[in-house]
Homo-oligomer: A and B are copies of this chain.
Amino acid sequence: MIEAVVLLSGGLDSATVLAMARAQGRVCHALSLDYGQRHAAEIAAARRVAHTLGAVEHKVIPIALDAFGGSALTDPRIAVPEGETTGIPVTYVPARNTVFLALALGWAEVLGARELHIGVNALDYSGYPDCRPEYIAAFEHLANLATRAGVEGERFHVHAPLIAMTKAQIIREGVRLGVDYALTVSCYQADAEGRACGRCDSCRLRARGFAEAGVPDPTRYR
């Protein structure tokens, strides 16, 4: 029985990662971070996804990244862009995936798990630096220097199975594995009931993915 910590945001990508890890027989410990994000509805979505897709447990850890601000997702004074943007958008949260992977690593070491699964994607994505393959490789290298397990000759592996997939490919794979995407929330500014704006970068990537996959879009828009 191989154990894994799976980072679960409540969005489409990480739900697919959990389904893929379960399909490979992994015993999955799901981890969500309540980081002061605008879209708190995603935590409720993460709970539904963890339960439905068979995680053996689900922890939600608060970490107040809004104490630093600097992102449209953590500072209400910065508006979420709607429509096309260029470069790295203001929805970028500085060091977010590094904080998330660090916490996943800490929990994994305590559990005796040696796999971290994360739903980063470097094709249909918002251009965030901490979603690229070279970043994931650097974190895996760090993980094996940072830990007792690494020093003692064991190896942590960071699995990012979506990294080279299009959004349409991700959705087709999830549908094949029985993921109910109606449970997920991707919108950067979803309302309290998880209804999406349909206009932010995350909504547009998601909607285009369903269209290209030829799968009916189950997203609830407001």
**Chain A interface residues toward B at CB < 8 A:** 59, 61-65, 67-70, 88, 92-99, 101-103, 105-107, 109-110, 129-130, 132, 134-135, 138-139, 141-143, 145-148, 150-151
Q: What 9 A-B pairs are tightest by C-beta distance, nearest first?
A: A70-B110, A95-B106, A94-B109, A98-B102, A95-B105, A99-B102, A94-B106, A138-B142, A135-B145
Question: How long is the Cα–Cα vector from A130 to B146 in the complex, in angstroms?
Answer: 5
Nearest chain B CB to A96's CB is how many angstroms away? 7
Are A94 and B148 within 8 A (Cβ)?
yes
Interface of A is mostly: helix
B102 with A146: CB separation less than 8 A? no
Known contacts A69-B110, A141-B142, A142-B142; 11 additional CB pairs below 8 A are A70-B106, A88-B151, A94-B105, A94-B110, A95-B143, A95-B147, A98-B106, A98-B143, A99-B102, A130-B147, A141-B141
The one of B64, B65, B70, B135 in contact with A142, judged by C-beta atoms closer than 8 angstroms, is B135
Closest residue of B by beta carbon distance from A71: B110
- In the bound complex, how far is the Cα of B96 from the Cα of A151, in angstroms? 15
Q: How far is the CA of A32 from the CA of B98 in the complex (A)?
A: 18
User: Which one of A95, A129, A143 has the greatest number of beta carbons of chain B within 10 Å?
Assistant: A95
Q: Which of B65, B102, B103, B148 contacts A88 (CB 8 A)?
A: B148
